[in-house]
Amino acid sequence: MSYIKLENLRKVYNKTIEAVKRFDLEIDKGEFIVFLGPSGCGKSTTMRMIAGLETVTGGDIFIDGESIINLEPRDRGISMIFQSYAVWPHMTVFDNVAYALKLRKLPKEQIKKIVDEVAVICDIKEHLERYPSQLSGGQRQRVAVARAIAVKPKLFLMDEPLSNLDAKLRVSMRTDLKRIHQDLGSTSIFVTHDQSEALSLADRIVVMNQGVIEQIGTPNEIYHTPESMFVAQFIGSPPANFFDVTVLVKGDKVMLSAKSFEFSVKKELEKKLKEYDGKQIVLAARPENFTVDKTGLIETEIIIVEPQGSHIVINVEVDGKEIKVVTDKLDLQVGQKIKLGLTDKYIVFDKDTTNRIY
């Protein structure tokens, strides 16, 4: 049986605005789940319903087989880490971490033992006598994490906890959070709109859009086999390139045809695409799925070169549309004519449903 279960969860505001629609998810004990999506997609609302900070319009939430929707937030066995750290400025680091333990009236010796343990885990042992104003943003966030894990909750909730940090610190804190999660074997739900955070942290990602789940999968599944055009476009930097192509069945071959190129499809798609003979579908290719060589199918010219150190991103035009290509050929120049090939990692989508064609 799953450890956390969200069953047909719904949230409606003012009887008309449906922020979360029929949300179903099962989470195993020890999993790190990331809710990912653009602003307004319902991810924070879903987390707040789990925490008890928002009332549930419909559905139920179970932890270890027990419904929690009628419990007060403090009785749910959940710790939440906020975007703003929410550490008490007038308390030392020690007192911040110990606060919830004191409320539980634990013996002083036990409190000190727990605080010392989590301080080591979160790398703040040297700062226990300092005040938050004497710490950096990253150190304050570690204090918030230490306070959350000190009470040994059933579930950690993290609402964009790294968004207030600078880019370099965000990367190092991501590593710290993953290490802490692995060390503790905790069950965690993390909310973000940053796909790099989601891909690097998650065991599974829940991609949300307009209150519904677009896809649930591992980082590899979400990136390489997106189930909808939304997921293919939202995940990846730069995102996938899209082309309108026509399916043509020529004898025993199935071709994808556009103005600038035509090629036969990979074997596993032939049977399914025969149903689309003469119809338009959408071909998606990630920037790294192209090759730049003399045998390429598509002739084009480089418009922009964006150096990235180990690779470059080039902008080219294909069938009147500007696309991005990632390559390790660092000597390419603006205005240079090139030929692009395509690996077999492309994906095809139904144009009407926008869902992937399997």
Q: What is the pLDDT along the chain (358 residues), one digit of tens a residue?
A: 789 999 999 999 998 999 999 999 999 999 999 999 999 999 999 999 999 999 999 999 999 999 999 999 989 999 998 877 778 899 999 999 999 899 889 999 999 999 999 999 888 999 999 999 999 888 888 898 899 889 889 999 999 888 888 888 888 888 888 988 888 889 999 999 999 999 999 999 999 999 999 999 999 999 999 999 999 999 998 999 999 999 999 988 999 999 999 999 999 999 999 999 999 999 999 999 999 998 888 999 999 999 999 999 999 999 999 999 999 999 999 999 999 999 999 999 999 999 999 8
CA–CA gap between residue 346 and residue 90 (Å, rounded): 56
CA–CA gap between residue 25 and residue 61 (Å, rounded): 10
| Pick from 87, 96, 91: nearest CA to 131 | 91
CA–CA gap between residue 50 and residue 61 (Å, rounded): 7
Structure tokens at 303: 């418009």
Report pLDDT for 48: 96
Classify strands 290-292 and 280-285 as parallel, antiparallel or unpaired: unpaired
pTM: 0.90
Structure tokens at 253: 């071959």
Report pLDDT for 166: 84
Amino acid at 109: E
pLDDT in tens, 323-336: 999 999 999 999 99
Q: How far is CA 222 from the centre of its chain?
A: 9
pLDDT in tens, 336-349: 999 999 999 999 99
Amino acid at 255: M
- Classify the phi-psi angles of 211: left when phi > 0, otherwise alpha if psi is within -120 to 50, otherwise beta: left
* Domains of the chain, earliest start first: 4-234 (3.40.50.300), 241-349 (2.40.50.140)
pLDDT in tens, 254-309: 999 999 999 999 999 999 999 999 999 999 999 999 999 988 889 999 999 999 99
Q: What percent of the chain has pLDDT over 70?
A: 100
CA–CA gap between residue 121 and residue 200 (Å, rounded): 20
Integer angstrom CA distances of residue 13 from 40, 45, 55, 70, 71: 13, 11, 10, 19, 21
The side-by-side arrangement of strands in the sheet containing 312-318 is: 290-292, 337-342, 298-307, 312-318, 321-327
Report pLDDT for 119: 93
Which residues make Cβ contacts (< 8 Å) with residue 144, sequence separation at least 6?
A: 81, 82, 85, 86, 87, 161
Report pLDDT for 124: 93
Helices 93-103 and 137-150: crossing angle in degrees, nearest 10, is: 20
